[in-house]
Amino acid sequence: MAAAPASAAGRAPVSAPIPARVWVAYAGLALLLALLPWLVGGVLGLGNAWLRTLNFAVLYVMLALGLNIVVGFAGLLDLGYIAFYAVGAYMYALLASPHFGLHLPAWAILPAGAALAGLFGVILGAPTLRLRGDYLAIVTLGFGEIVRIFLNNLNAPVNITNGPQGVSGIDPLAFFGVSLAKPVVVAGITLLPLAATYYVFLLLALGVVFVTLRLENSRIGRAWVAIREDEVAAKACGIDTRNIKLLAFAMGASFGGVAGGLFAGFQAFVSPESFSLMESVMVLCMVVLGGMGHIPGVILGAVLLSLLPEAFRYAAVPVQKYLFGHVVVDPESLRMLLFGLALILVMLYRPAGLWPSPLRKRELKRSGP
């Protein structure tokens, strides 16, 4: 506690010295993230299902951070975000599967998927530039559905997406000739596929976190927030709101594209079903519930909303058996019920999210004399 000098906040908050306890927290977090597969698999004995859930949680962190750029920073409500995840996923599925007989490497597909998703972001953004709030939400919702419907129907006359059946037999993720489908040996330690995948996902997610943090604290990031706060004033400050908004759509979408590619390689199967409106809503909930515009909050939201529903599902049967002697509500319904209840409670009691940006802390800082 002693390491928080009140006077250091003055000149340049960006380069202010980081207190020791923050370093300790970071080190603890890093250790936890590094050991997580062992904790989940070994210590807690939760098994592979939970490792899979963990990997999905990391993917959702990427998605939520991408959507946060559009919704949290630039203040543009997007209900079709999952379309970009779909674009990335299908990009990978079509370029690395027996469907077309193409087997391009992941290092080539993932960036291409990010770029294509970014392009889709611009395509979505361009016609919606003058829209805000409800109107924008409706258009983006339509966009998300259109993409899904296209994926569903692009199997005739030329079979591109294989329609509702989806694409299966997708090549597993492989980097530098190391496939994540088989156990990976690193420095004498054997990593099972799910654990190896976790580390790859984690690495990429950390990259996304890094990029988002840097963007937030930059000329572009300030322009996004300025548009969110007051678009007219932003224009009067010389911000080309059209380009800056398109940039937000493209950046956010590209994160979704990367996550989609990883998803396809991880699942070895994609179908339009995975990209429903409910998924867009889920990612939006992660952003809003965690704390719109605040990166740590968004990460927390993504992790909680990926893990808690699974936990409910596992706990639902034993808990009910214990309480009532038999199962009263089926686990799936109960899961959604509790999820809805949690959302309502959080929005009622913490309208700015579970972990909002520390505005109050910031405003208490005074510049030096």
Partner 1 sequence: MSAPLLDARGVAKDFGGVKALKDVSLSIAPGEIYGLIGPNGAGKTTFFNCLTGLYAPDGGGFTFAGAPLKASAPHQAARRGIARTFQNIRLFAHMTARENVMVGRHVRTRAGVIGAILRDPRTRAEEAAIARRADELLHYVGIADRAHDLAKHLSYGDQRRLEIARALATEPRLLCLDEPAAGMNATERAALRTLIAGIRADGVTVLLIEHDVKLVMGLCDRVAVLDYGQLVVEDVPAVVQRDPRVIEAYLGAAPDEAGQGGAGEGGHA
User: Which residues would be at the binding site for partner 1 (CB under 8 A)?
Assistant: 9, 12-14, 210-211, 214-215, 217-223, 225-226, 229-230, 232-241, 247, 251, 359, 362-363, 365-367
Q: In the bound complex, what is the minimum distance in angstroms from residue 257's beta carbon to partner 1?
A: 15
- The Cα–Cα gap between 238 and 88 comes to 34
Nearer to partner 1 (CB atom), residue 77 or residue 292:
292
Burial bucket for residue 269 (CB in 10 Å: 0-12, 13-18, 19+): middle
Q: In the bound complex, what is the minimum distance in angstroms from residue 131's beta carbon to partner 1?
A: 18
Nearer to partner 1 (CB atom), residue 221 or residue 257:
221
Q: In the bound complex, what is the minimum distance in angstroms from residue 147's beta carbon to partner 1?
A: 24
Position 59, amino acid:
L
Are 129 and 242 in contact by the 8 Å Cβ rule? The answer is yes
What are the φ and ψ backbone dihedral angles of 270, each rounded to 5 degrees? Answer: -130, 145
Nearer to partner 1 (CB atom), residue 74 or residue 93:
74
Q: In the bound complex, what is the minimum distance in angstroms from residue 118's beta carbon to partner 1?
A: 11
Which residue in this structure is represented by tokens 């963007």?
215
Which residue in this structure is represented by tokens 């294509």?
116
What are the φ and ψ backbone dihedral angles of 181, each rounded to 5 degrees? Answer: -85, -15
Q: In the bound complex, what is the minimum distance in angstroms from residue 256's beta carbon to partner 1?
A: 16
* CA distances to 51, 222, 283, 302, 339 from 331, in Å: 20, 44, 22, 21, 12
Cis peptide leading into residue 193 (ω within 30°):
no
Nearer to partner 1 (CB atom), residue 12 or residue 158:
12
Nearer to partner 1 (CB atom), residue 14 or residue 323:
14
Distance of CA 228 to the CA centre of its chain: 21
Q: In the bound complex, what is the minimum distance in angstroms from residue 77's beta carbon to partner 1?
A: 17
- ∠ Cα 357 359 362 (to 5°): 120
Nearer to partner 1 (CB atom), residue 73 or residue 90:
73
Which residue in this structure is represented by tokens 């899979």?
52
